[in-house]
Amino acid sequence: MARYVIGLDYGTDSARALVVNAGTGEILSSSVRNYPRWSRGLYCDPQANQWRQHPKDYLEVLELTVRDALSKCAPEVAPNVVGLAFDTTGSTPAFADETGTPLAMSPEYSNDPDAMFVLWKDHSAIREAAEINQACKASAVDYSMYEGGVYSPEWFWAKALHILRNSPDIATKASTIVECCEWLPAVLTGVADHRDIVRSRCAQGHKSMWSAEWGGLPPEEFLAGIDPLLSGWRSRLFDNTETADKRVGYLCPEWAARLGLSVNVVVAGGAFDCHMGAVGAGVKPHTLVRVIGTSTCDVMVAPYEEIGDKCIRGICGQVDGSVIPGMIGLEAGQSSFGDVYAMFRRVLEWPLRELSGLEGDALDEACGNILPLLTAEAEKIPVSESDRVISTDWVNGRRTPDANPLVKGTVSGFTLGTTAPMIFRSLVEATAFGTKAIHDRFAEEGVRIDEVIGIGGIALKSPFVMQTMCDVLGKPIKVCKTMQACALGAAMFAATAAGVYETVEEASRAMSSGFSREYIPDPSRTKIYSGLYEKYLALGSFTEVNLSF
């Protein structure tokens, strides 16, 4: 009898469940649901860089997606599901009570954004990140050394300190802080004490400065030195972390019944979406996997002997076992990618919404046609160095290289002849130049890149964006066949934790979806883009010096 696994991918806007044949990698069914509260914009304040998610969103779509996906399968599938695994966005922490339950699940804090999960894109902790960076540089040990040497407001400690300052009552009510990718497996396995939550090597190694080198989290005196509000929190958290290929438990009776599965289903450890997505895409040494969506996450793995004691400067993290156990996981990324295009679309659709008289479906259809029309016209613009609009991609700050949440996106080179397609093309090129900046930083630090793989909706749906990126890099780019590479990667971890495979690498080889196409660079365009890239760097340097506030 065949064995099946379920990969659960929790993205920014929606969650998806993938039912997969563990032996062959065949995707039997999938289901996607938008988060109901998030869809209504609740608890978020874009002007304040505040992006919060109610934990009920996650639980409600969990039951809906799994049951829906299983309903599309033959009756014998559900009884033979042997494992499931989660990937989530990150860093996405929440303050939790003694049981490990986020405080927002209680009536007292049900509408308090500070009691909810602080989403990865939340930049409300810029001040706190700056203070952590200052403390790291003043310390005898730079605890940010394995996070590229620059701590980001998108990460665990900055967010925790911001909440403690903003909502003092949280400190008195909370017992711990939990990442989303740790909490969901704990819920499904019936954990009732926060000390029993299995902590994620991926999440904590990349975002909380956890390292075996200094015995786990940074020491108490370092954290308390940043702000006395952090005193005592180290002891409330954890000492050890585990890689995501390990079993954290089995489905508890309540959730087995709610999902229509057996209590014998193994629940694997959690990890961040892009790290499991890299495994789903077939990551191996010298391969750069780009998870391309609203932002990007760039993931590589390297053998111990290649990294040695080197700290890769200006990336988001290097963590033993965060992607594939037995290798060093390397993470970089862009704070905005698809969000750059979405920002420009919002600018252009404003007069449609305010002045056109269109309503309902007609208005949605008109706004939905903006980016396809811009793409069609932008593709007609020749690639040349003269009379060009040049932009930067930092509309949500910069993640890599050298994190800086204060930098701003810029568009330069306006003339009376500038058109919307010209601006759009410059924004697409800017996101490609941001890609090259990441690629070049890895190369400067001695990390060789032989192959580039793209996964996600943009990789599959936008040949213009992908070809531009390919031409800018001057390297071929393969595109993963499935749009659900992150969920497929989670399924591979589920299969490993359930004992179908001994290692994640074996699961990846057996369950891979393959590639749908490969983009090949045009040498003539690559040469022109080399010159334009220098202008991008010059504009970025000016922007960073003069517009970082």
Q: Dump pLDDT digits (tens) for 170-216.
A: 989 999 999 999 999 999 999 999 999 999 999 999 999 999 999 99
pLDDT tens for 4-32 read: 999 999 998 999 999 999 999 999 999 99
Share of the chain above pLDDT 70, in %: 100
CB-CB contact of 494 with 83 (8 Å): yes
Q: What's residue 1's pLDDT? A: 77
pLDDT bin (cut points 50, 70, 90) of residue 153 is very high
Q: What's residue 546's pLDDT? A: 86
Helix (H) or strand (E) segment spanning residue 374: helix 370-378
Distance CA 268, CA 390 (A): 46
The mean pLDDT value for 542-549 works out to 83
533 pLDDT higher than 90: yes
Helix (H) or strand (E) segment spanning residue 527: helix 523-546
Question: Cα torsion at 349, 353, 121, 293 (round to 10°)?
Answer: -50
Asked if the bond preceding 401 is cis, omega within 30° of 0, the reply is yes
Beta bridge partners of 20: 5, 27
**Which range has the worst mean pLDDT, 121-125, 343-347, 354-358?**
354-358
The pTM for the full model equals 0.92
pLDDT bin (cut points 50, 70, 90) of residue 519 is very high
Q: What's residue 549's pLDDT? A: 66
pLDDT bin (cut points 50, 70, 90) of residue 355 is confident
pLDDT tens for 256-304 read: 999 999 999 999 999 999 999 999 999 999 999 999 988 999 999 999 9
Tell me which amino acid residue 101 is: T
Q: What's residue 547's pLDDT? A: 74
123 pLDDT higher than 80: yes
pLDDT tens for 500-515 read: 999 999 999 999 999 9
The SS3 call for residue 31 is strand
Q: What's residue 356's pLDDT? A: 85
Write 526-531 long-range contacts (CB < 8 A, 24+).
Answer: 526/471, 526/472, 526/473, 526/474, 528/383, 528/384, 528/385, 529/383, 529/429, 529/432, 529/471, 529/472, 530/474, 531/385
Distance CA 92, CA 203 (A): 9
* Other CB atoms within 10 Å distance of the CB of residue 168: 10
Distance CA 143, CA 189 (A): 33
pLDDT tens for 387-421 read: 789 999 999 999 999 989 889 999 999 999 999 99
Q: What's residue 86's pLDDT? A: 97
Q: The tokens of 3 are what?
A: 């064995």
367 pLDDT higher than 90: yes
The mean pLDDT value for 138-159 works out to 95
pLDDT tens for 55-92 read: 999 999 999 999 999 999 999 999 999 999 999 998 99
